[in-house]
Chain A
Amino acid sequence: MKKGSLILLITGLMLFAACTTEEVCEDASESYLVARMKYIENGSSLDTVVPDLLLWGIRESMPDSLIYDSLSTARLVLPLDPHHNFSTFVMVIDSIYDTLFLEYGVELYLHSQACGFRHAFTLDSVRASGLKILEAETVREDIDATLETNEEHVWLYL
């Protein structure tokens, strides 16, 4: 065997290995449910804005932490709990407390080699206590770490 061939072979392989680009993760690590606030007028479903919303999740062994603190919003973006197959959120709208209860299936998946693993959720049910949120409707069941523009999963009717 020519020595040159082997040297060129090894050099070539080292060059290829050196040219491998390093990926950078720019995606979120959590998966978010998006809920649109709605109301019904004359049989039609219309978007609405909730003023001065307070919202937090009920977390095991962790203190309450506000996700929405007196914000006016038409769209709620809520992180889902991957440790359980449910998440519970307390909402305060016009000084009235309501509870949003979400049930789902959770699966692990490799998002990318740069980002590592993420959770994919399949929404089973959405309920509210009915004090302020009159009805909840699921419009899209699948939720993963890639949130597309205008992606919505739930409509909440006031």
Chain B
Amino acid sequence: MSGSTYKSGPGHSLFPLSGKALIVLFICLLPASMAGQDTLRTYGPRFGFDLSRIAYLFTDPVQKGAEVSLDFEVYKNIYPVFELGFNHSTDPGELYSYKSGGPYARIGMDYNLLPMDDRSVHHTITAGFRYAVSVFDHEAEDISIQGDYWGDYYLDTYENRLSGHWFEIVGGMKTEIGANFFLGWSLRLKILMNPDMDPVLPPQMIPGYGNGSESRAFGFNYSIMYKIPLIKR
């Protein structure tokens, strides 16, 4: 097996969020404005772009990705949500280098907990859930194992295509900062449903999830959104 490619058939946490740190973030990320504009309530699909991915480029340049979202208030306070993204990460380690990358998708529902006495108010405080899936490739290169007696062992590449499934509990806020423009954030507790997807090499980065060697992960998004005002009533 030395010096060849190993293909299989079928985590350090890059952002270890502590409880205190999450509370600080929660306070810091309160939406900037609380002013509504419309006198009538508008309904329509709301498209979002995750700005936190831009921050990742500065804080963790080994990760590159983007995420967009779509939600729609189909019934009073109920928002089906669809999120789509991709992520690529590289980690050039001393003992082996690691790469993973691929798309991910989430589908779920948010429920608005904020009372809507004033129909012009479009802000929301939501709680919800997501089911998420990512089909991604990951590989380790330049694997070496020191062998004092039998000699060192080398393997060029180990690679595998995997699919990860996880469930998320989501809480967050959205504020209308201009007509149909929203700014909002969400915090997520992620629960990995198939942590044993690769027994040889647990994925160090599942796109959209995080470190695949951990069965729980935290995440957050900070997004700007635009709602297409299709219906007014």
Residue contact A118 to B151, C-beta cutoff 8 Å: no
Residue of B30, B149, B224 ringed by the most chain A CB atoms within 10 A: B149
Within 8 A of A (CB), among B43-59: 51-52, 55-56, 58-59
Instruction: Say whether A17 contacts B148, CB under 8 Å.
Output: no
Q: Given B1, B153, B199, which contacts A109 in the complex, CB threshold below 8 Å?
A: B199
Q: How far is the CB of B225 from chain A (nearest CB, A)?
A: 12
Number of interface residues of A (CB under 8 A): 40
Q: Which of B95, B149, B183, B224 contacts A30 (CB 8 A)?
A: B149
- B228 contacts the other chain (Cβ, under 8 Å)? no
Residues of A close to B32: CB separation below 8 A: 1-2, 5
Query: Chain B 12-52 against A: per-residue CB contact (8 Å), 1 yes, 0 no?
Result: 11111110010011001110100000000000000000011
CB within 8 A of B150: which of A15, A81, A107? A81
Asked if B65 CB lies within 8 Å of chain A CBs, one says: no
A17–B55 touching, CB < 8 Å: no
Residues of A within 8 A of B (CB): 1-2, 5-6, 8-10, 12-17, 19-20, 23, 29-30, 57, 59, 62, 65, 67, 79-83, 87, 106-110, 113, 115-119
Beyond A9-B25, A13-B52, list 20 extra A-B contacts (CB 8 Å).
Answer: A1-B177, A5-B30, A8-B28, A10-B59, A12-B21, A12-B25, A12-B28, A14-B59, A15-B21, A16-B16, A19-B18, A79-B149, A79-B150, A82-B145, A82-B147, A83-B1, A83-B153, A113-B12, A113-B93, A113-B204
Q: Which residues of B contact A (CB under 8 A)?
A: 1-2, 6, 11-18, 21, 24-25, 28-30, 32, 51-52, 55-56, 58-60, 93, 95-96, 140, 143-151, 153, 155, 158, 177, 183, 199-202, 204, 213, 222, 224
